[in-house]
Amino acid sequence: MPQPPDSADIPEARVTPQRRWSLQLVWLIPIVAALIGGGLALQAVLQRGPTITISFSTAEGLEPQKTRVKYRSVDIGRVTAVGFSRDRKRVVATVELSKEAEPFLVADTRFWVVRPRVSATQISGLGTLLSGAYIGMDPGKSGESRRAFVGLDVPPIVTIDRPGHHFTLHAEDLGSLDVGSPVYFRRVHVGTVVAYELDQDGKGVQFRVFVNAPYDRFVKPDTRFWQASGLDLTLDASGIKLNTESVASLLLGGIAFQTPAESAQAPPAKENASFALYPDRSIAMRLPDTAEETYTMVFDESVRGLSIGAPVDFRGVVIGEVAAIGVDFDAKSGDVRIPVQVRLYPDRLLGKAKREALSHGALINKLVARGVRAQLRSGSLLTGQLYVALDYFPDAPKAAVRMRGGRAEIPTVASSLKELQTTLLRLARKLDKLPLQGTVADARKSLQALQATLAATERAVNHVDSDLTPQAVRTLADLSQTLASAQKTLAGAQRSLAGVNGMLAENAPMRRQLLDALRQFARAAESLRSLADYLERNPGAILRGRIERQPQ
């Protein structure tokens, strides 16, 4: 082992003053690391948004960790897990959203899966063919926060933030409309059918339509909507008219609306205002039947040929329609009544202004009191269709509108056909009751007797001819002699009358005396008249005599 060298041979190291703080610099590194790590962690915590669940009917296209949630094509989250709901009927996607999505999560926010879709009106989601489906979002406006959502099966037609108004329409049936069908205003596409559903009672279809912003102000409270589906072919006195909104509506159907000119200045309709959807434009633009009254009519005859919707007609003006035809069996009396329910629109008889002066039902009451009755009439002899006519029957027995079972009942009269029928029937019955057999026998006997009489008469005439004629000739000769003597007598009479005439001539004294006598007689009659007048005024004078009135 070699000896360590002498320490003196080894040079001593030089010394410089120590910088003690330099050792501490190394701790800056973990501090910086901690700051970076802490910053990243803080950022991650702050960036971490809410986790929500969305239930869908199918998980088609949904992949955990891969499927995104997008709002206006901006990534705001992704699906972290896909599982089943508790009842295993739906698929529940757990979605982790970014922080900025927090305010979107309110009660009426909607989610749907964006997949490629091809419909008659549009093709959408083609981009997802390559990128895979994603979840679309339509943030709601509600203030209520929510974390569990039910996803839509189809994308919403109208997003919540789109300016415009929703309206509700009621129609008899769907027609050829569908979700996405256009809404036209003066043939401009201004809106869309958003949804439709059957009424709760199944008696109609309810549509929800959306009218885009600048156009929604044209929807007034009095606006009429009608189905602009397909073709409208009218044949009338002016010729054939073919009407359609657009080629698209020809195929897809659509809704059009218009406001009557008189209410064009009204304020726009409110959100979710309700309207009727009429089958066509002409019906829609008719005067609205704001007042509607329901009456029952019981006809004592067959209502065959009367259908629901048949018109109720007042001297040719349609003022209502048949709403229902029922059969009412009265168990107590065993009678079967056929009540026909009608809807009447009194506005059609009166103006709107006058209508307000008359209370409910007053018009019909008045008309019935004046002799108006309901009657079934045949609209067409060919088809046998009946309609209900209201008309004056002055001969009808007095009646009034009665209330029966909560419904006002308008008295009816038998139809003219029926009346004719009953009359004929009555006649036939009477004829039937006549003792025709006997009558005919009697008549025959009478005829025989008549024949005998005639024969006797003939014989008598013959007898007259042979026996009476010479006698008659003689009588005539006698008559001629008698006439000649009568002529002589008349000439004598003429002479006597001429004598009388002389007596009564102008200056004959007898005539003057007669005139005097007549004049006196006239005077006597005059005084008698004044006496009668006086007596008439003072009957008491008969008893008390004439009282001379003293001048006052």
Which parts of this chain interact with another protein (CB under 8 A)?
4, 7, 10-19, 23, 26-27, 29-30, 32-34, 36-37, 40-41, 44, 65-66, 68, 75, 130-132
Taking the least distance from each CB to another protein, the nearer of 14 and 488 is: 14
Taking the least distance from each CB to another protein, the nearer of 66 and 217 is: 66
Closest of 262, 270, 253, 118 to residue 196, by C-alpha: 253
Task: Name the strand (E) or helix (H) holding 53.
Answer: strand 48-56
Smallest gap from residue 87 Cβ to another protein (A): 30
Taking the least distance from each CB to another protein, the nearer of 33 and 150 is: 33
Smallest gap from residue 85 Cβ to another protein (A): 26
Smallest gap from residue 159 Cβ to another protein (A): 23
d(CA 315, CA 441) in angstroms, rounded, equals: 53
Cβ atoms within 10 A of the Cβ of 134, count?
A: 23
Task: Name the strand (E) or helix (H) holding 40.
Answer: helix 28-47
d(CA 273, CA 169) in angstroms, rounded, equals: 8
CA angle 481, 487, 493 (to 5 degrees): 145
Taking the least distance from each CB to another protein, the nearer of 115 and 407 is: 115
Taking the least distance from each CB to another protein, the nearer of 132 and 361 is: 132
Smallest gap from residue 29 Cβ to another protein (A): 5
Using DSSP, state whether 263 is helix, strand or coil: helix
Give every CB contact of residue 505 below 8 A, 6+ residues apart in sequence. Answer: 511
Smallest gap from residue 105 Cβ to another protein (A): 23
Taking the least distance from each CB to another protein, the nearer of 37 and 83 is: 37
Smallest gap from residue 37 Cβ to another protein (A): 4
Taking the least distance from each CB to another protein, the nearer of 16 and 507 is: 16
Smallest gap from residue 45 Cβ to another protein (A): 11
Q: Which amino acid is at 335?
A: D
Smallest gap from residue 117 Cβ to another protein (A): 19
Taking the least distance from each CB to another protein, the nearer of 33 and 447 is: 33
d(CA 279, CA 177) in angstroms, rounded, equals: 12
Using DSSP, state whether 161 is helix, strand or coil: coil
Give every CB contact of residue 2 below 8 A, 6+ residues apart in sequence. Answer: none
Backbone angles phi, psi at 282, to 5 degrees: -65, -40
d(CA 501, CA 497) in angstroms, rounded, equals: 6
Q: Which two tokens stand for residue 373?
A: 């009755």
Q: Let me know: does 254 contact 182? Beta carbons within 8 Å.
A: yes
